Structure 1
Amino acid sequence: MDKIRPSRIHIIGSVGSGKTTLAKVLSTKLNVPFYELDNVVWKRFKTGDVRRTDEERDELLGEITSANAWIVEGVHHKWVQPSLQRADLIIFLDTGYSTRTFRIIKRFIMQKLGLERANYTPTFQIFRRMFVWNAQFENESKPEIEKMLGGYSEKLLVLKDNSEMEKTFGYLK
């Protein structure tokens, strides 16, 4: 962790890319709070999730990123410019499609067995949608994200797999 010591980090990548895992580890190592962008978009209730208005979402993101130290993670890219601009470091987790597919399956099994916590009820409908989201990311979102991140090359770190994360941050296993 000595190589990189940022205090404002934006992690972006597809479902199953390792965003939340990396955010949790960096949060602990750097003693910096982390936020899932899904929880910025959604108000979580026991009775179900309610989408925030765009104004509420943007205000909450602004509150988070106005602090001196934070980590945000998510696949969202169309409304997160303030976070990207304020970040010291942007990490794009560009893990392979098959790796993400495997992780989606593994996560679903772990959640159904109660071994991994979820912000949502892990239904087969959501499980199926994750495969759709994974494919959409590869074919639609990824090219948009790569283009968008081109303007941040001085603070962009692209990681392809866990070995690159280990080499950069020295945290896995």
Structure 2
Amino acid sequence: MVAIRIHIIGGSGSGKSYCAALLGEKLGIAHYDLDDIHWDPRSDEYGVKAPEAERDRRLLDIVGRDAWIVEGVYRSWAEPSFAASDRIIVLMTPLHVQEERIWKRYEERVSGAVPGKKRETYEGIVNLLAWNRDYNETKLPHLLRNWAYADKMLLVHDNRDVLGLFEP
């Protein structure tokens, strides 16, 4: 196992989970999805947040470890992860690719073709697409211009390039 701490960010459908799983396997490191910490898995309703104290405790437990990969786009409450990370991978996947992936994932889950722990609704996906467009066109560029962690950032335009970032 390599002792490295990596945070992966990017819009919805950018490939964060995919890249985290690939890197985790390659480096022998556990990977964590911040959605699993942010949303309350005990709720029967879509979009119910976990209690903040529980969410924050779980995040601090992860970032206190010697090696990890965290993936998620959250900023304010995920600050401890950014501060503790050695590298922050920023996935710059084209917006149209992200939108195709979001729709495909939704259709697969709704049809039952792929089991999912998330209970999306059509309205929720439409809202996600709008949020994701704003994130990619406004929030992410602003973050990249003004972030205190610029020295840790690795910009990736093709997810296949992620594995090459951490060659022995």
TM range (shorter): 0.7 to 0.9
- Residue of structure 2 equivalent to 1:9: 6
**CA distance in structure 1 between the partners assigned to 2:50 and 2:5 by the alignment:** 24
Contact 1:6 1:89 in 2 (8 A): no
SS of structure 1 residue aligned to 2:134: helix
Q: In the TM superposition, what is the alpha-carbon distance from 1:32 to its structure 2 partner?
A: 1.2
Equivalent residue pairs, number: 165
The alignment status of 1:139 with 2:167, answered yes or no, reads no
SS of structure 1 residue aligned to 2:138: helix
1:111 to 109, 112, 134: 109
Q: In the TM superposition, what is the alpha-carbon distance from 1:115 to its structure 2 partner?
A: 3.6
Q: In the TM superposition, what is the alpha-carbon distance from 1:77 to its structure 2 partner?
A: 1.4
- Residue of structure 1 equivalent to 2:50: 52
- Residue of structure 1 equivalent to 2:96: 98
What amino acid maps onto 1:20 in structure 2?
S
Does 67-76 or 26-35 show the bigger shift?
26-35
RMSD of aligned residue pairs (Cα, Å):
2.2
Alpha carbons of 1:142 and 1:26: their partners in 2 closer, same or farther (altered >3 Å)?
same
Contact 1:19 1:74 in 2 (8 A): yes
**CA distance in structure 2 between the partners assigned to 1:42 and 1:167 by the alignment:** 32
Q: In the TM superposition, what is the alpha-carbon distance from 1:83 to its structure 2 partner?
A: 0.6
Alpha carbons of 1:61 and 1:137: their partners in 2 closer, same or farther (altered >3 Å)?
same
Unaligned runs of 5+ in 2: none
Q: Deviations over 1:8-62 (max 9, x none)?
A: 1100111011001111111122221111111111220262464223332222211
Alpha carbons of 1:23 and 1:166: their partners in 2 closer, same or farther (altered >3 Å)?
closer
Q: Deviations over 1:137-163 (max 9, x none)?
A: 1233213431454x2233211101234
- Residue of structure 2 equivalent to 1:33: 30
SS of structure 1 residue aligned to 2:99: helix
Moved over 4 A (4+): none
**CA distance in structure 2 between the partners assigned to 1:23 and 1:104 by the alignment:** 18
Contact 1:77 1:145 in 2 (8 A): no
Alpha carbons of 1:168 and 1:113: their partners in 2 closer, same or farther (altered >3 Å)?
farther
Q: In the TM superposition, what is the alpha-carbon distance from 1:126 to its structure 2 partner?
A: 2.1
TM-score by length of 1: 0.82
**CA distance in structure 2 between the partners assigned to 1:89 and 1:39 by the alignment:** 21
* % identical equivalent positions: 33
**CA distance in structure 2 between the partners assigned to 1:17 and 1:63 by the alignment:** 26
**CA distance in structure 2 between the partners assigned to 1:27 and 1:100 by the alignment:** 22
- Residue of structure 2 equivalent to 1:64: 62
Alpha carbons of 1:163 and 1:26: their partners in 2 closer, same or farther (altered >3 Å)?
closer
Q: In the TM superposition, what is the alpha-carbon distance from 1:166 to its structure 2 partner?
A: 5.5
**CA distance in structure 2 between the partners assigned to 1:63 and 1:86 by the alignment:** 12
SS of structure 2 residue aligned to 1:51: coil
